[in-house]
Structure 1
Amino acid sequence: MRIFTALIAITAGILVLFGYFIPAFSGLQILLLNWAIILAGAAAIVGVFNLILVHSDKVRRSEKGSVYSALLVVSLVATLIFGIILRPGHTIMKMVVSGIIVPSEAALMGLLTISLLYAAIRLLRRRVDLMSIIFLVTAAFVILGTASLPFGAIPLVSDFSRWVTEVLALGGARGILIGVSLGILTTGLRVLFGTDRPYGGN
Protein backbone atom coordinates (compact mmCIF):
# COMPACT_ATOMS: atom_id res chain seq x y z
CA MET A 1 0.00 0.00 0.00
CA ARG A 2 2.86 2.37 0.81
CA ILE A 3 4.49 1.69 -2.55
CA PHE A 4 1.15 2.35 -4.30
CA THR A 5 0.67 5.73 -2.57
CA ALA A 6 4.29 6.64 -3.30
CA LEU A 7 3.83 5.84 -6.99
CA ILE A 8 0.66 7.98 -7.16
CA ALA A 9 2.37 10.95 -5.47
CA ILE A 10 5.53 10.70 -7.57
CA THR A 11 3.57 10.31 -10.83
CA ALA A 12 1.30 13.26 -10.05
CA GLY A 13 4.27 15.44 -9.11
CA ILE A 14 6.19 14.55 -12.28
CA LEU A 15 3.14 15.21 -14.49
CA VAL A 16 2.56 18.62 -12.89
CA LEU A 17 6.26 19.42 -13.26
CA PHE A 18 6.24 18.38 -16.94
CA GLY A 19 3.26 20.69 -17.53
CA TYR A 20 5.51 23.71 -16.95
CA PHE A 21 7.99 22.64 -19.64
CA ILE A 22 6.08 20.46 -22.14
CA PRO A 23 2.89 21.97 -23.63
CA ALA A 24 1.39 18.51 -24.24
CA PHE A 25 1.11 17.96 -20.47
CA SER A 26 -0.48 21.37 -19.72
CA GLY A 27 -4.07 20.05 -19.86
CA LEU A 28 -3.27 17.20 -17.48
CA GLN A 29 -1.39 19.60 -15.23
CA ILE A 30 -4.41 21.93 -14.98
CA LEU A 31 -6.66 18.93 -14.22
CA LEU A 32 -4.39 17.72 -11.40
CA LEU A 33 -4.07 21.23 -9.97
CA ASN A 34 -7.86 21.64 -10.01
CA TRP A 35 -8.20 18.34 -8.13
CA ALA A 36 -5.66 19.59 -5.59
CA ILE A 37 -7.63 22.83 -5.14
CA ILE A 38 -10.84 20.84 -4.57
CA LEU A 39 -9.10 18.59 -2.03
CA ALA A 40 -7.63 21.65 -0.27
CA GLY A 41 -11.10 23.20 -0.09
CA ALA A 42 -12.52 19.98 1.36
CA ALA A 43 -9.70 19.88 3.91
CA ALA A 44 -10.47 23.51 4.86
CA ILE A 45 -14.15 22.62 5.39
CA VAL A 46 -13.15 19.66 7.57
CA GLY A 47 -10.86 21.98 9.54
CA VAL A 48 -13.67 24.49 10.08
CA PHE A 49 -16.04 21.79 11.33
CA ASN A 50 -13.30 20.45 13.60
CA LEU A 51 -12.79 23.98 14.98
CA ILE A 52 -16.52 24.28 15.69
CA LEU A 53 -16.65 20.86 17.39
CA VAL A 54 -13.61 21.50 19.58
CA HIS A 55 -14.78 24.90 20.80
CA SER A 56 -18.38 23.75 21.20
CA ASP A 57 -17.08 20.95 23.43
CA LYS A 58 -15.17 23.53 25.49
CA VAL A 59 -18.36 25.56 25.90
CA ARG A 60 -20.32 22.45 26.90
CA ARG A 61 -17.75 21.52 29.54
CA SER A 62 -17.52 25.14 30.77
CA GLU A 63 -13.75 25.06 30.58
CA LYS A 64 -11.51 28.08 31.09
CA GLY A 65 -11.94 30.51 28.22
CA SER A 66 -15.26 29.00 27.14
CA VAL A 67 -16.71 32.50 26.70
CA TYR A 68 -14.17 33.21 23.98
CA SER A 69 -14.88 29.81 22.42
CA ALA A 70 -18.60 30.59 22.34
CA LEU A 71 -17.91 33.99 20.79
CA LEU A 72 -15.69 32.33 18.17
CA VAL A 73 -18.32 29.73 17.25
CA VAL A 74 -21.17 32.27 17.08
CA SER A 75 -19.11 34.69 14.98
CA LEU A 76 -17.94 31.96 12.62
CA VAL A 77 -21.41 30.50 12.08
CA ALA A 78 -23.04 33.93 11.70
CA THR A 79 -20.41 35.09 9.20
CA LEU A 80 -20.78 31.84 7.24
CA ILE A 81 -24.59 32.08 7.09
CA PHE A 82 -24.63 35.75 6.14
CA GLY A 83 -21.87 35.16 3.60
CA ILE A 84 -23.86 32.37 1.93
CA ILE A 85 -27.10 34.36 1.93
CA LEU A 86 -25.78 37.82 1.06
CA ARG A 87 -22.61 36.85 -0.88
CA PRO A 88 -19.18 38.41 -0.17
CA GLY A 89 -19.80 41.39 -2.46
CA HIS A 90 -22.83 42.61 -0.50
CA THR A 91 -22.65 45.96 1.29
CA ILE A 92 -23.21 44.42 4.73
CA MET A 93 -20.39 41.90 4.25
CA LYS A 94 -18.07 44.69 3.13
CA MET A 95 -19.02 46.65 6.25
CA VAL A 96 -18.20 43.61 8.40
CA VAL A 97 -14.78 43.32 6.78
CA SER A 98 -13.96 47.05 6.90
CA GLY A 99 -15.55 47.67 10.31
CA ILE A 100 -14.56 44.55 12.29
CA ILE A 101 -11.91 42.40 10.62
CA VAL A 102 -9.59 45.16 9.37
CA PRO A 103 -9.60 47.12 12.70
CA SER A 104 -8.99 43.87 14.60
CA GLU A 105 -5.99 43.10 12.39
CA ALA A 106 -4.70 46.66 12.86
CA ALA A 107 -5.08 46.32 16.65
CA LEU A 108 -3.16 43.03 16.60
CA MET A 109 -0.38 44.65 14.57
CA GLY A 110 -0.26 47.49 17.10
CA LEU A 111 0.04 44.99 19.95
CA LEU A 112 2.79 43.20 18.03
CA THR A 113 4.71 46.47 17.70
CA ILE A 114 4.51 47.18 21.43
CA SER A 115 5.45 43.57 22.19
CA LEU A 116 8.56 43.89 20.02
CA LEU A 117 9.57 47.09 21.78
CA TYR A 118 9.02 45.49 25.19
CA ALA A 119 11.05 42.46 24.10
CA ALA A 120 13.88 44.77 23.05
CA ILE A 121 13.86 46.49 26.45
CA ARG A 122 13.93 43.12 28.25
CA LEU A 123 16.79 42.06 25.99
CA LEU A 124 18.76 45.13 27.04
CA ARG A 125 18.14 44.35 30.71
CA ARG A 126 19.54 40.84 30.32
CA ARG A 127 22.33 41.46 27.82
CA VAL A 128 23.74 44.76 26.66
CA ASP A 129 25.60 44.43 23.40
CA LEU A 130 25.73 46.17 20.04
CA MET A 131 23.03 44.09 18.32
CA SER A 132 20.46 44.54 21.10
CA ILE A 133 21.05 48.31 21.11
CA ILE A 134 20.67 48.42 17.31
CA PHE A 135 17.46 46.40 17.56
CA LEU A 136 15.96 48.72 20.19
CA VAL A 137 16.98 51.92 18.39
CA THR A 138 15.67 50.64 15.05
CA ALA A 139 12.34 49.56 16.57
CA ALA A 140 11.94 52.93 18.30
CA PHE A 141 12.73 54.86 15.10
CA VAL A 142 10.31 52.76 13.03
CA ILE A 143 7.52 53.25 15.59
CA LEU A 144 8.10 57.00 15.77
CA GLY A 145 8.40 57.26 11.99
CA THR A 146 5.17 55.41 11.22
CA ALA A 147 3.01 56.59 14.13
CA SER A 148 0.45 59.38 13.68
CA LEU A 149 1.88 61.99 16.04
CA PRO A 150 -0.20 65.05 17.04
CA PHE A 151 2.56 67.47 15.98
CA GLY A 152 3.18 65.76 12.63
CA ALA A 153 5.96 63.55 11.33
CA ILE A 154 9.56 64.00 12.44
CA PRO A 155 11.55 64.60 9.20
CA LEU A 156 14.75 62.63 9.84
CA VAL A 157 13.02 59.91 11.83
CA SER A 158 10.37 59.48 9.15
CA ASP A 159 12.99 59.21 6.40
CA PHE A 160 15.02 56.69 8.38
CA SER A 161 11.90 54.64 9.14
CA ARG A 162 10.92 54.61 5.47
CA TRP A 163 14.45 53.54 4.49
CA VAL A 164 14.41 50.70 7.02
CA THR A 165 11.02 49.40 5.91
CA GLU A 166 11.55 49.82 2.16
CA VAL A 167 15.19 48.71 1.93
CA LEU A 168 16.33 46.61 4.88
CA ALA A 169 13.00 44.99 5.78
CA LEU A 170 12.12 44.36 2.14
CA GLY A 171 15.51 42.79 1.50
CA GLY A 172 15.09 40.57 4.56
CA ALA A 173 11.59 39.56 3.44
CA ARG A 174 12.91 38.64 0.01
CA GLY A 175 15.67 36.59 1.61
CA ILE A 176 13.09 34.75 3.72
CA LEU A 177 10.95 34.09 0.63
CA ILE A 178 13.98 32.75 -1.23
CA GLY A 179 14.75 30.46 1.71
CA VAL A 180 11.13 29.26 1.85
CA SER A 181 11.17 28.62 -1.90
CA LEU A 182 14.37 26.58 -1.65
CA GLY A 183 12.88 24.61 1.26
CA ILE A 184 9.71 23.91 -0.72
CA LEU A 185 11.81 22.86 -3.74
CA THR A 186 13.91 20.51 -1.60
CA THR A 187 10.83 19.01 0.06
CA GLY A 188 9.15 18.56 -3.32
CA LEU A 189 12.19 16.78 -4.72
CA ARG A 190 12.36 14.51 -1.67
CA VAL A 191 8.68 13.61 -2.15
CA LEU A 192 9.22 13.02 -5.90
CA PHE A 193 12.12 10.67 -5.21
CA GLY A 194 10.19 8.88 -2.48
CA THR A 195 12.55 9.88 0.33
CA ASP A 196 9.76 11.62 2.27
CA ARG A 197 6.29 10.10 2.34
CA PRO A 198 3.92 12.42 4.19
CA TYR A 199 0.97 10.76 2.44
CA GLY A 200 1.53 7.20 3.67
CA GLY A 201 4.05 7.05 6.50
CA ASN A 202 7.68 6.01 6.38
Structure 2
Amino acid sequence: MAISLEKGQKISLEKSNGSNLDQICVGVNWGAIEKKGLFGGKKKVAVDLDASCIVFDAKNEVIDTVYFGKLETQGIKHSGDDRTGDLDGDDGLDNEIITLNLNKLDSNAHQIVFVLNSYSGHDFKTIPFASIRLYEGTPTHVNSVYATYDVTNDPQFSGALSMVLGKFYLHNKNWKFSALGEPTKDSKLPGMIETVKKHYL
Protein backbone atom coordinates (compact mmCIF):
# COMPACT_ATOMS: atom_id res chain seq x y z
CA MET A 1 0.00 0.00 0.00
CA ALA A 2 1.33 3.44 -0.94
CA ILE A 3 2.31 5.79 1.87
CA SER A 4 1.74 9.53 1.89
CA LEU A 5 5.15 11.11 1.86
CA GLU A 6 6.15 13.31 4.76
CA LYS A 7 9.12 15.61 5.08
CA GLY A 8 12.26 13.81 6.21
CA GLN A 9 10.86 10.36 5.58
CA LYS A 10 13.24 7.66 4.32
CA ILE A 11 11.99 4.97 1.98
CA SER A 12 13.66 1.63 1.40
CA LEU A 13 13.87 0.74 -2.27
CA GLU A 14 13.21 -2.95 -1.80
CA LYS A 15 10.64 -5.26 -3.31
CA SER A 16 8.50 -7.46 -1.10
CA ASN A 17 10.87 -10.39 -1.80
CA GLY A 18 13.83 -8.42 -0.44
CA SER A 19 15.50 -7.67 -3.76
CA ASN A 20 16.36 -4.10 -4.72
CA LEU A 21 14.30 -2.06 -7.13
CA ASP A 22 16.10 -1.30 -10.35
CA GLN A 23 13.56 0.84 -12.21
CA ILE A 24 11.51 3.57 -10.53
CA CYS A 25 9.19 6.18 -11.99
CA VAL A 26 8.40 9.60 -10.56
CA GLY A 27 5.08 10.70 -12.05
CA VAL A 28 3.31 14.06 -11.78
CA ASN A 29 -0.41 14.49 -12.43
CA TRP A 30 -2.38 17.76 -12.58
CA GLY A 31 -5.30 19.51 -14.22
CA ALA A 32 -5.99 22.76 -16.02
CA ILE A 33 -7.63 25.51 -13.95
CA GLU A 34 -11.31 26.19 -14.60
CA LYS A 35 -12.42 29.82 -14.54
CA LYS A 36 -15.62 31.68 -15.32
CA GLY A 37 -15.77 33.18 -18.80
CA LEU A 38 -16.88 36.67 -19.74
CA PHE A 39 -20.44 35.64 -20.55
CA GLY A 40 -21.10 33.25 -17.69
CA GLY A 41 -19.55 30.17 -19.28
CA LYS A 42 -16.43 28.37 -18.14
CA LYS A 43 -12.99 28.31 -19.66
CA LYS A 44 -9.91 26.22 -19.04
CA VAL A 45 -6.59 27.86 -18.18
CA ALA A 46 -3.58 25.74 -19.14
CA VAL A 47 -1.14 24.88 -16.36
CA ASP A 48 2.48 24.07 -17.19
CA LEU A 49 4.23 22.15 -14.41
CA ASP A 50 7.78 20.91 -15.01
CA ALA A 51 9.27 17.84 -13.37
CA SER A 52 13.07 17.77 -13.43
CA CYS A 53 15.95 15.97 -11.76
CA ILE A 54 19.56 16.93 -11.07
CA VAL A 55 22.35 14.37 -10.85
CA PHE A 56 25.22 15.12 -8.42
CA ASP A 57 28.53 13.37 -7.83
CA ALA A 58 30.10 12.60 -4.44
CA LYS A 59 31.54 16.14 -4.28
CA ASN A 60 28.07 17.69 -4.79
CA GLU A 61 28.93 18.87 -8.29
CA VAL A 62 26.27 18.69 -11.02
CA ILE A 63 26.86 15.86 -13.47
CA ASP A 64 23.71 16.36 -15.51
CA THR A 65 20.14 17.67 -15.46
CA VAL A 66 17.09 16.05 -17.02
CA TYR A 67 14.18 18.39 -17.76
CA PHE A 68 11.91 19.47 -20.64
CA GLY A 69 14.92 20.80 -22.55
CA LYS A 70 17.00 17.63 -22.16
CA LEU A 71 14.86 14.52 -21.91
CA GLU A 72 17.48 11.84 -21.42
CA THR A 73 20.82 11.03 -19.86
CA GLN A 74 22.50 7.84 -18.70
CA GLY A 75 19.90 5.76 -16.83
CA ILE A 76 17.26 8.55 -16.73
CA LYS A 77 14.49 9.39 -19.20
CA HIS A 78 11.82 12.13 -19.18
CA SER A 79 8.47 11.48 -20.88
CA GLY A 80 8.30 15.01 -22.36
CA ASP A 81 6.87 18.43 -21.59
CA ASP A 82 3.15 18.76 -20.79
CA ARG A 83 2.15 22.42 -21.06
CA THR A 84 -1.57 22.25 -20.28
CA GLY A 85 -2.49 19.65 -17.65
CA ASP A 86 -5.63 17.51 -17.99
CA LEU A 87 -8.24 19.66 -19.75
CA ASP A 88 -11.21 17.35 -19.13
CA GLY A 89 -10.74 16.30 -15.51
CA ASP A 90 -8.45 13.77 -13.91
CA ASP A 91 -7.79 10.89 -16.32
CA GLY A 92 -5.78 9.02 -13.67
CA LEU A 93 -2.61 9.19 -15.75
CA ASP A 94 0.58 11.09 -15.02
CA ASN A 95 1.25 14.12 -17.22
CA GLU A 96 5.02 13.96 -16.86
CA ILE A 97 7.08 10.93 -15.83
CA ILE A 98 10.77 10.60 -15.13
CA THR A 99 12.03 7.01 -15.26
CA LEU A 100 15.11 6.11 -13.27
CA ASN A 101 17.06 2.92 -14.00
CA LEU A 102 19.39 2.60 -11.02
CA ASN A 103 21.56 -0.03 -12.71
CA LYS A 104 22.34 2.17 -15.70
CA LEU A 105 23.21 5.47 -14.04
CA ASP A 106 26.50 7.28 -14.55
CA SER A 107 29.03 5.53 -12.29
CA ASN A 108 29.81 8.88 -10.66
CA ALA A 109 26.18 9.54 -9.70
CA HIS A 110 25.84 9.86 -5.93
CA GLN A 111 22.61 11.83 -5.44
CA ILE A 112 19.65 12.48 -7.74
CA VAL A 113 17.35 15.28 -6.61
CA PHE A 114 13.82 15.64 -8.04
CA VAL A 115 12.18 19.05 -8.24
CA LEU A 116 8.88 20.44 -9.53
CA ASN A 117 8.12 23.99 -10.59
CA SER A 118 5.15 25.84 -12.00
CA TYR A 119 6.54 27.23 -15.25
CA SER A 120 3.27 29.08 -15.86
CA GLY A 121 3.48 30.72 -12.42
CA HIS A 122 0.39 29.16 -10.87
CA ASP A 123 0.23 28.67 -7.10
CA PHE A 124 0.28 24.93 -6.34
CA LYS A 125 -2.86 25.29 -4.21
CA THR A 126 -4.88 26.51 -7.21
CA ILE A 127 -3.90 23.61 -9.49
CA PRO A 128 -6.52 20.83 -9.56
CA PHE A 129 -5.46 17.41 -8.22
CA ALA A 130 -1.72 18.16 -8.46
CA SER A 131 0.03 15.10 -7.08
CA ILE A 132 3.26 13.15 -7.33
CA ARG A 133 3.84 9.43 -6.96
CA LEU A 134 6.82 7.09 -6.80
CA TYR A 135 6.21 3.71 -8.31
CA GLU A 136 7.87 0.61 -9.66
CA GLY A 137 7.13 0.05 -13.32
CA THR A 138 7.26 1.90 -16.62
CA PRO A 139 5.54 5.03 -17.97
CA THR A 140 2.79 2.81 -19.38
CA HIS A 141 2.47 0.24 -16.60
CA VAL A 142 2.40 0.70 -12.83
CA ASN A 143 3.53 -2.39 -10.90
CA SER A 144 3.44 -0.99 -7.38
CA VAL A 145 3.00 2.55 -6.02
CA TYR A 146 5.41 3.19 -3.15
CA ALA A 147 4.54 6.71 -2.08
CA THR A 148 2.50 9.77 -3.01
CA TYR A 149 2.47 13.53 -2.47
CA ASP A 150 -0.85 15.40 -2.50
CA VAL A 151 0.49 18.79 -3.58
CA THR A 152 -2.83 20.63 -4.02
CA ASN A 153 -4.20 19.79 -0.58
CA ASP A 154 -1.02 20.09 1.49
CA PRO A 155 -1.09 23.51 3.22
CA GLN A 156 2.71 23.84 3.20
CA PHE A 157 2.63 24.23 -0.60
CA SER A 158 -0.02 26.97 -0.58
CA GLY A 159 1.48 30.04 -2.27
CA ALA A 160 4.46 28.06 -3.60
CA LEU A 161 5.52 27.86 -7.25
CA SER A 162 8.22 25.22 -6.81
CA MET A 163 9.28 22.39 -4.53
CA VAL A 164 12.09 19.96 -3.87
CA LEU A 165 10.38 16.58 -3.93
CA GLY A 166 13.15 14.36 -2.61
CA LYS A 167 16.40 12.66 -3.46
CA PHE A 168 17.76 9.26 -4.27
CA TYR A 169 21.16 8.78 -2.67
CA LEU A 170 23.82 6.11 -2.34
CA HIS A 171 24.33 4.61 1.11
CA ASN A 172 26.63 1.61 1.57
CA LYS A 173 26.45 1.05 -2.20
CA ASN A 174 22.65 0.81 -2.11
CA TRP A 175 20.21 3.43 -3.36
CA LYS A 176 17.80 4.96 -0.84
CA PHE A 177 15.13 7.65 -1.12
CA SER A 178 14.66 10.60 1.22
CA ALA A 179 11.44 12.64 1.02
CA LEU A 180 12.24 16.35 1.30
CA GLY A 181 8.90 17.95 0.38
CA GLU A 182 10.17 21.51 0.71
CA PRO A 183 8.60 24.48 -1.09
CA THR A 184 11.12 26.95 -2.51
CA LYS A 185 10.90 30.53 -3.76
CA ASP A 186 12.57 29.75 -7.08
CA SER A 187 10.48 30.13 -10.21
CA LYS A 188 12.84 28.50 -12.70
CA LEU A 189 15.17 25.50 -12.75
CA PRO A 190 18.57 27.30 -12.58
CA GLY A 191 17.61 28.94 -9.30
CA MET A 192 16.32 25.64 -7.96
CA ILE A 193 19.64 23.93 -8.73
CA GLU A 194 21.48 26.54 -6.66
CA THR A 195 18.98 26.17 -3.80
CA VAL A 196 19.41 22.39 -3.85
CA LYS A 197 23.22 22.72 -3.76
CA LYS A 198 23.07 25.07 -0.78
CA HIS A 199 20.46 23.34 1.36
CA TYR A 200 19.52 19.81 0.30
CA LEU A 201 22.64 17.74 -0.38
With structure 1 as the length reference, what TM-score do the two structures score? Answer: 0.21
Rg comparison, structure with higher value: 1
- Bigger RCO of structures 1 and 2 (CA < 8 A, at least 6 apart): 2
Please identify which structure carries the higher helix content: 1
Please identify which structure carries the higher strand content: 2
With structure 2 as the length reference, what TM-score do the two structures score? Answer: 0.21
